[in-house]
Copies of this chain bind each other. A is one copy, B any other.
Amino acid sequence: MPNQERPRFLVVGGGLVGSMVAALLGREGFPVELIDRRGDPRTGQIEAGRSINLAISARGLNGLAALNANDQLLALGVPLYRRAIHARHSAGGGVAYQAYGDGRQAIYSFSRGELNRALVGAAGATPNVGLSFGRRCVDVDLEAGTVAHVDAGTGADRRTSRGVIIGADGAFSAVRSGLQKRLYQEYSQSFLEHGYKELYVPARPDGSPALEMNAMHIWPRGRFMMMAMANWDHSFTVTLYLPRTGENGFDRLTTPGDVQGFFEREFSDAVPLMPSLIEDFFANPTGAMVTVRTYPWQVGGRAVLIGDAAHAIVPFYGQGVNCGFEDVLELVDQIKANPGDLTLAFDRYQQIRKPNAEAIADLALMNFHEMRDQVASPLFLWKKRLEHLLALALPGWYRPLYPMIAFSLIPYAEARARAAQQAATLRRIGWSIGALITVSIAWLLLSR
């Protein structure tokens, strides 16, 4: 059932993914309306205190390049070339470094709010795009292709918008909950037992950064960890990851004394850099991290999910937005490639993106364990060195997983499959060498 030639799109959610898809569809000449619950980031204060800084890598840069806004936006990002691993004071308190790639390859630390402001600006500057902020979606009718929304502050002024619905409304998507009520909709949501809290390291009084700017700072502590990523103004956005309950859990840190004691024991080198620690800890909310998997992502060419709304993932591979931008490019490409048939366009889009979203969701969960537990272990460091050596020795054949994810555009599912294949081959080679050594020793012993 082909749709009308020039459909009108209704984007729900004006975050990074929603504003980018609105801008790109608008440039293709489609009329687009975007509605978002929050205030307009171009005029108001950016919502703070609950975000995790973004790490934009190759895929994200590729998305920004599609906006032709690369240079201007990149100025907001701080390149991170390596991890800086902060040991416990009781373990010497030193800092060890691990390059992410070949030393020149970098991921880029962005303030979510600032990047969002820039992307909303790009969408708003596009002729066919209308933006409505401060509007909360209260009802989605997937059959009729309408969304009812109200003033987010007062709950009054109910209006209905009509169009092909693009659900870009994040991990707790209202559009997705409409899909979820349909028969045969596969759906799962699973929360990490850890929560997170945003904290802050300001620039020094003389304006210089308090930590090295061009590194991702990590304090791995086994069952929990802390991270810090630079902002362009030389401040750092810090994220503390703790179990929600139990030993070293958020529920055990209820007084300023608890927090101060915990930080001095676990993150003593960071304490002098965080003058507003206690204040921030109790003012900022504890965030939840959820993995959401669902399928299909579309309803008959009338509605489609994108970004976190389609596949919320945990933040530990730093790929959430990168994956979302890949979704945007694929969706726009398929809409252009299948004129007059959105059902087919959305179907191709979901078939291409779903396996990749699954792969990065799994990898992000795996990386949580790696960053928390293993990143500081000698075995992990040796494994990374071995990977590096193999990549140098067998450049055509061996590529470590992390650079494939962060520094290439190889689809996530393909990168994961390739890494698994490489690992299996290495195991076989290892076994063969072991067998060869055993046979040689046996031969030597017997031939004496």
What is the interface of chain A, defined by CB distance below 8 A to chain B? 180, 183-191, 244, 288
Contact = CB atoms under 8 A, between A and B. Distances in A.
Nearest to A195: B184
Copies in the complex: 2
Contacts of A190: 186, 188
Contacts of A244: 184
Contacts of A188: 187-190
Nearest to A293: B188
Contacts of A185: 189, 191
A180 B187 CA distance: 12
A185 B189 CA distance: 8
A288 B183 contact: yes
A185 B244 CA distance: 14
A191 B295 CA distance: 11
A242 to B, nearest CB: 15
Nearest to A187: B189
A179 to B, nearest CB: 12
17 contacts: A180-B189, A183-B191, A183-B288, A184-B191, A184-B244, A184-B288, A185-B189, A185-B191, A186-B189, A186-B190, A186-B191, A187-B187, A187-B188, A187-B189, A188-B188, A188-B189, A188-B190
Contacts of A187: 187-189
A32 B52 CA distance: 48
A35 to B, nearest CB: 21
Nearest to A181: B177
A187 B172 CA distance: 13
A285 B412 CA distance: 40
A405 to B, nearest CB: 26
A187 B187 CA distance: 8
Given A187-B188, A188-B188, 5 more contacts: A180-B189, A183-B288, A184-B244, A187-B187, A188-B190
A183 B184 CA distance: 24
State the 4 A-B residue pairs at the shortest beta-carbon distance, nearest first.
A188-B188, A184-B191, A187-B189, A183-B288
Contacts of A288: 183-184
Contacts of A184: 191, 244, 288
Nearest to A186: B190
Nearest to A190: B186
Contacts of A180: 189
A190 B190 CA distance: 14
Contacts of A191: 183-186
Contacts of A186: 189-191
Kindly name the residue among A184, A185, A186, A191 whose own CB sees the greatest number of chain B CB atoms within 10 A: A184
A178 B189 CA distance: 15
A180 B188 CA distance: 11
A191 B186 CA distance: 7
Nearest to A185: B189
A288 B186 CA distance: 12
